[in-house]
A and B are shown apart, each in its own frame.
Chain A
Amino acid sequence: DQQVKQNSPSLSVQEGRISILNCDYTNSMFDYFLWYKKYPAEGPTFLISISSIKDKNEDGRFTVFLNKSAKHLSLHIVPSQPGDSAVYFCAASADAGGTSYGKLTFGQGTILTVHP
């Protein structure tokens, strides 16, 4: 039962162009969404998050969009840089009821490669 799905295992982008990573979810109780970046042999590093009361959140080159009706979120990276090459995970939590204790449900990850 994959409640958070990242259907693209990999994405290749030219330096300076936009990278768009997508994520779909099925659990309507999710109300907080996060993107993590992960390098090999390291733990995930928090990038950006969005609450379900918003539809967009921006932080520098990173913007996350949330479409609640479609149960879809995306991460835009503009402009993409070679140092952005990593695995990107989207994650979700359901805390409105106060019973999930912040545990995160992760997608399978998308490998982003940014070519110079």
Chain B
Amino acid sequence: NAGVMQNPRHLVRRRGQEARLRCSPMKGHSHVYWYRQLPEEGLKFMVYLQKENIIDESGMPKERFSAEFPKEGPSILRIQQVVRGDSAAYFCASSPTSPGTEQFFGPGTRLTVL
């Protein structure tokens, strides 16, 4: 049973470009969480999704950030018009059908904005 997959592992973008981060949850997991870790800080919750539904996006910046978890395919975190402050490690986690249980994390995508 493969773990949570994230790609790309490293992503470099220039200011103003778009970044797309992908997350494939563990098999059988229908709950996906995205977290962001800024340098020298802990992980901060961004958004919680189930298949085709955004359940809680209270941690998402109001502009430029969006997330989806389509019926088929991976979950996508999209950042439009990136700025230097978006440089961070972005982690995806998945959990089985009950939210609140332990979450299994992917290896993360490290985004660098030049």
Contact = CB atoms under 8 A, between A and B. Distances in A.
Q: Do A and B come from one complex?
A: yes
A93 B91 CA distance: 17
A107 B42 CA distance: 5
Contacts of A104: 33, 35, 43, 45, 103
B105 A32 contact: no
B108 interface: yes
A101 B104 contact: no
Interface in B77-106: 91, 93, 95, 99-106
B100 A46 contact: no
Contacts of A41: 107-108
Contacts of A91: 43
Interface of A: 4, 6, 32, 34, 36, 41-46, 49, 89, 91, 93, 95, 100-109
